[in-house]
Structure 1
Amino acid sequence: MRNAAAASRRHRFAWLLALAVLATFSPGFHVGFVLDREALAAGEVWRLWTGHLAHFSLSHLLADTAVFALLAVALRRAGECSLGRVLFLGAVVLSGSLLLCDVWLSRFGGLSGLNALLLGRLAVRWFQAGGRLRVLGLVLLAIAAGKFTLDSVGLGGTGVEFGSITVVPSHLSHWLGLFWGLVLPVTTQAKKTFSAVRRSIQSRSRAERKSRRSRMSATESA
């Protein structure tokens, strides 16, 4: 079972990588995948997710996917069992909040924002584990905040060429990603709690209906 699950994760990652390659190097896929404000307003809501797969150069794609793979593996080892749900929900809230907070942003692409989200979630996972991992989580969070601050004031270096002077890094996407990475675990836990309460209510309701039917049957028999 464990080998089958690992193979399934590898297959999903391979599919995501293949889509990212197409969204980066195929003009048709790139135009259809990139997060575009006007296209989104016209109803192309899939861009909230696919925009994170579209990159603007080979170095951009390689850097983002390498970091993504490392963070995904680290999260799995930290006990993350809902990475797919995190990515699905994280992609849409990150895209939406980025467009809302940066009104001048017309197009966006790349995994760096989601990478920041995964980094924030990893820091939370390590902090929750306690012991040395708690310290490591705080250190990771401090390093990320320091790096993003340097990038925001123009003192950081990405080492990534975007292939066009009109494409610039979105430092806000990194900060928003980190924020959602810290918040989403709480949201997920709240959802689990709500689901547990709902199941309890449904179970109690079924028990009450069964009890009423039993009493009615007993009355009719009498």
Structure 2
Amino acid sequence: MTSPTTLDATATDHNVVPSLDTHNLGKSMGGRTLWSNLNLRFQPGELTALTGESGCGKTTLLNILGLLEPPSSGTITYGGQSLTGASPRTARLMHRHTMGFMFQNYALVEQWTVKRNLTLALRSIGIAAGGRSQRIRKALRNVHMEGYGDRLVYTLSGGEQQRIAIARLLIRSPRIILADEPTSSLDVDNRAMVMHHLRAFADDGAIVIYTTHNQEDAHIADRIIKL
């Protein structure tokens, strides 16, 4: 595998659409400017790592790209359509049909079973009840979690919960995947599993962006953006 390209945070490439783009994006918090004038293009089929020191705003940028918080300045477009100041309905539709997230806390309902968590994801995208079980079984098999459907999430290890989070992405197939420190605190095997699937999502044509402090994980990416 070739080494990823490391870019500064003003790099642009204008060859492929639909892409996720930032235009002069800036964010200030508590009187401090995290970054400004970011002009970035995230392309389908590309795995991008966001790196930098703690507190540099990696997670904040991921949240802004995911329409979870607003920028202080600048705009975001997807396929040329502006997402800046998107209405709650537009944000909901993007989250339901286009975007998928991996959070450090896994964002699973711990008191529910694995199957119920995955069923909720399928219901949110309008998959009829008759087609859900097969999708869930296939996704669990792909993350080596067959037979875990009836397990309560809180009984699982952190690595197992992150595998369920990957299964949730597999059954939805979002075109934009945003992952915040997806291998944080995981053992070697689970870290390899997570990075394998992020690579596979990108190879399947998704835009995949993840934050990391781990240099090994960063160098799996096609591109590294250091904030």
Q: TM-score range by the shorter chain?
A: under 0.3
The structure having more radius of gyration, on CA atoms, is 1
Specify which structure has the bigger relative contact order, considering alpha-carbon pairs within 8 angstroms and separated by 6 or more residues.
2
Indicate the structure with greater strand content.
2
Is the helix fraction higher in 1 or 2?
1
TM-score after normalising by structure 1: 0.25
